[in-house]
Amino acid sequence: MNPVQKRVIQWALLSVLAAGLLGCSQKNESQADASGEGYPVVGLVIDINSEEGSAKIKHEEIPGFMPAMTMDFRLDSADLEKIKAEDKIHGRLVRDEDGGFRLIEVKVGDQVDYRPLEKTNRKLAKKTKSLPSGRYFGEGDETPEFALLNQNGEVVSVKNLRGKAFMMNFIFTRCTDAKMCPLSTSKMATMQRLAQEQQVADLAFVSVSLDPEYDTPSVLKRYAEAYGIEDEGFHFVTGPMEAVGNMIRSFGVTSLPRDETIMHSLATMLVSEKGEILMRSERSDWSPEAFLARLQKSRHAPSNS
Ligand SMILES: [Cu+2]
């Protein structure tokens, strides 16, 4: 499929599927939290035995249950596929019916604490809910509050960014469609460079992951480095699935996990220092120069921006 066809299909499916997907992930999260079953495990993957459905993991002490050691854990096949030797992982240890050790909710990367984001993202959830069907925050609207974590594990929120304008887009690090995320990321990097050259101050960059479970801060850190992006003022952000889902919905992006990838639309936005969405593009050929010019215009004619 070409990107246009993809987009059409994605939009058609948006209302039905996006709602369903978000519903699912919310449910899973609260189930896990409510039951609190098993023990949190942090460890390093030594090797993987796909045939037996297990992985050898060198885990840290599991408080109240087991000292640090290297042992085999059973993993679901979907979890086995996303890990490789030397990955740092975390998950939850449960017992199978026959007493075997199983690791569930396996995530690659560091254990991330999203609690500092909760309060702000409750506001986001409220704002998102208030949107009439088919509406999203676009040009001229005030951006809703949100709080996510960047590649250094720091909180990035609209409040933190106040006083700075920011560019925002949506990407995921495993995207292999050269015309989508990779292009979008290199354009954001280009724009950061241009802004420096033209001495445009107080402009930040925020790239929201569409794949927050995989794109942990450390994964995003590696991604930023691969693009030679300067940390300063460029935030690759991730967060709880529910918050990211609300971002996707609020800003009119379509994102559908499909087989090994995520089919998604593009949305690139410029938000003013006052929190107003000044410009938005849904195309892959958006121009960094045009966005920069729009920002300059708003700063030079503040009364009528
Ligand atoms: Cu992509």
Q: Are residues 163 and 176 in the same domain?
A: yes
Ranges 7-16, 147-156, 186-195: which has the least confidence? 7-16
Question: Cα of 33 to ligand 1 centre, how many Å?
Answer: 31
**Over 90: is that where the pLDDT of 86 sits?**
no
Q: How many structural domains are present in the chain? A: 2
Q: Are residues 141 and 14 in the same domain?
A: yes
Q: Are residues 183 and 206 in the same domain?
A: yes
Question: Cα of 304 to ligand 1 centre, how many Å?
Answer: 35
* Each residue's pLDDT tens digit, 134-149: 899 999 999 999 999 9
Q: 303 pLDDT band (50/70/90 cuts)?
A: low
**Over 70: is that where the pLDDT of 98 sits?**
yes
Q: What is the mean pLDDT of the segment spanning 46-63?
A: 93
Rounded Cα distance between 293 and 109, Å, is: 38
pLDDT at position 280 is 97
Length, in residues, of the chain: 305
Cα angle 30, 33, 34 (rounded to 5 degrees) comes to 80
Q: Are residues 168 and 260 in the same domain?
A: yes
pLDDT at position 198 is 94
Residues with CB under 5 A from ligand 1 (ion): 175, 180-181
* Each residue's pLDDT tens digit, 203-214: 999 999 999 988
> How many other C-beta atoms are found inside a 10 Å radius of the C-beta of residue 177?
15
Which of residues 260 and 171 earns the better pLDDT score? 171
Tokens 């050259």 locate to: 197
Question: Cα of 11 to ligand 1 centre, how many Å?
Answer: 15
Phi, psi of 60 (to 5 degrees): -75, 175
Question: Cα of 10 to ligand 1 centre, how many Å?
Answer: 13
* Each residue's pLDDT tens digit, 171-203: 999 999 999 999 999 999 999 999 999 999 999
Question: Cα of 41 to ligand 1 centre, how many Å?
Answer: 31
pLDDT at position 231 is 79
**Over 60: is that where the pLDDT of 33 sits?**
no
**Over 70: is that where the pLDDT of 8 sits?**
no
pLDDT at position 259 is 80
H or E element at residue 269: strand 268-271
> How many other C-beta atoms are found inside a 10 Å radius of the C-beta of residue 191?
23
Rounded Cα distance between 39 and 63, Å, is: 8
Instruction: Please indicate, yes or no, if residue 32 is contained in any of the structural domains.
Output: no
Question: Cα of 278 to ligand 1 centre, how many Å?
Answer: 24
Rounded Cα distance between 20 and 71, Å, is: 38
Strands 203-209 and 234-237: parallel
Q: Are residues 199 and 221 in the same domain?
A: yes
Q: By C-alpha distance, which of 27, 61, 28 is closest to 43?
A: 61
Question: Cα of 139 to ligand 1 centre, how many Å?
Answer: 23
Q: Are residues 7 and 134 in the same domain?
A: yes
Q: By C-alpha distance, which of 23, 26, 7, 25 is closest to 254?
A: 7
Question: Cα of 175 to ligand 1 centre, how many Å?
Answer: 4
Rounded Cα distance between 10 and 2, Å, is: 12
Q: What mean pLDDT value characterizes the chain?
A: 86
Q: Which domain holds residue 255?
A: 3-19+113-300
Q: By C-alpha distance, which of 7, 26, 19 is closest to 240?
A: 26
pLDDT at position 31 is 34
Question: Cα of 302 to ligand 1 centre, how many Å?
Answer: 34
